[in-house]
Each structure stands twice: as C-alpha cells, then as structure tokens.
A and B are shown apart, each in its own frame.
Chain A
C-alpha cells in the first residue's frame, strides 16, 4: 500500500502524517505538493492538518477548489480510502466529499490538548482495529472544529451510521458531539482530532495507531490477493 500526503501552501501537519505512516507503520508514503500532482499510483490519500491558504475566506475553502481535489474526488469515487484530519476535514466538507461544515469553536478559542473520544462505528475501513464504544485519547488542535449540519443531514448521518467518533466532553460545540464522520460509502473519513500525533506512547498516547493499522489491513485484505 502506498499513501500520498497532500501538501497545500499552509499545511503544517504533513510531516507528522508522513512520519506516522513511514516511520511508525513502515508503509510507503510520499509528500505530494498540490500542484501538478498525479495521484494515480497511490492507494490511500491523506489530507493533513494546518492552515491551507491561511484559512482565507473559510478554512479549507480555497484548497477545496484546487485541481488536486478533483483527483481526490475521483480516487474516492473508486472506493479507495481518503482520510482528512483537522484542516483536511475542513477541506473535505468544503469540497462536498463530506456533508456539513466546520465553524468557529463555540468559545472562540484555539484549543490544543488531548480529548477522550468514543468510537461510534468500528465497521469502517478506518476503525476495525478498535472496539465499538472504545474510549480513545487523541490530541485536538483547532480553532474551527465546531461541526454543524442541518437536522435532515444529522438524521441521515445517524441512520447510515456515518458518525465515527464523538467527543466525551464536547470541547468546541459540535452538534451531537461529532468529532469525525464518514461518507455514505464509508471510504472517506474526516475528523478534527489528530491520530497522526498519537502514534508514540512516549508522547502521551498511541491510540491513533489502530486507525492507520486498520486502513492498511483493510486495504491489503481487499486489494492484495492471497494477502
């Protein structure tokens, strides 16, 4: 399996993501600059955190219109995995790959600390390594992570089991404590907490490891014959 970490001007968690895949998971990964990129030879796409285009207009809005996102949409439409973390989640909602929007935190503060989360759906290709309802600890680092969608969309998210992670102690005002969701098909995950910053127990938590392990294991089982 080979991952592409998409780098936009203003991305700043790209190297953490690359480190998690390359050094901790020991799986191939490239940092891919957003311009003139070709994603054809990659199996998994990772949209990292940061402040693409300085969060101008709305966080993720400008990156969502970039050429590389057309390729990400195509990749997603083939059922291949796409993970967007933090700003990556914002880009996915702005690009229409995930429903809803991420708004300013309710308390207006940028928050950077570890939060307990509940795994609400362990059937997605990103979460099979976790127990259903398992409580995990991942760092958050955002000013605009307040997930919002209308009532009809929320009902749809619930009915389709698209809510993957919720906050135990909602830090930002997100509707229904939502921390991460998948698309209807289940192959595109967006989440505000940072699994790539939780891959070394020495640094506070390695609860993010199972997410990447799940992605890799599920990809190998579906795409590699005799795996």
Chain B
C-alpha cells in the first residue's frame, strides 16, 4: 500500500472569502502579523501498489478531486505503509 496525500488550494487570483474571514479573525485576536490566509483541502488516499501510480493519481485530481477552473493541486506519494 502507498499513502497518497493530496493538497488542493484555490488558484492565486481567485477570491477566497473564507481565507479573508480567517485572516481578519486572527488579526482581531491580536495576530496582526497575518497578512493573508488561504483555505484549501487535504485528502489522504490509501492506494494499492500498481503501475503508473502517479499518472493515475493525477487523473483522479483532474477528474474529481480538484476543479482545474479554480483550484491547483499537488500530491505526495509516501513509501509503502505497513498495514
């Protein structure tokens, strides 16, 4: 088994109202150093070993996990996890 972690973020330039609300909230808690907050998603996949694993994960991201119109993604594949 491999553990794949997918990180999805809004593209630069795409308005992130949730991030904006978080930034303002942190500022009001006294964390004045926060200039920007952006919210994304983190998805963990347990994947069976197989050929073209990276290409298949890329396909999953393009087809479902991320929306290429508004989101960017990256993923890490971790070495075999003992199950």
Write the residues of chain A forming the contact surface with B, with a CB cutoff of 8 angstroms.
57-58, 61-62, 65, 93-94, 99-101, 103-108, 146, 148-150, 173
Contact = CB atoms under 8 A, between A and B. Distances in A.
B21 interface: yes
5 contacts: A58-B67, A100-B69, A108-B18, A146-B15, A173-B17
A58 B65 CA distance: 9
Contacts, number: 36
Nearest to B11: A150
A101 B67 CA distance: 8
A65 B17 contact: no
B81 interface: no
A104 B71 CA distance: 13
A103 B70 CA distance: 9
User: Chain B at the A interface: mostly helix, strand, loop or mixed?
Assistant: helix
B14 interface: yes
Given A101-B70, A148-B70, A57 B65 contact: yes
A103 B63 contact: no
Contacts of A105: 17
Given A57-B65, A65-B63, A65-B64, A103 B15 contact: yes
B67 A61 contact: yes
A93 B64 CA distance: 12
A100 to B, nearest CB: 6
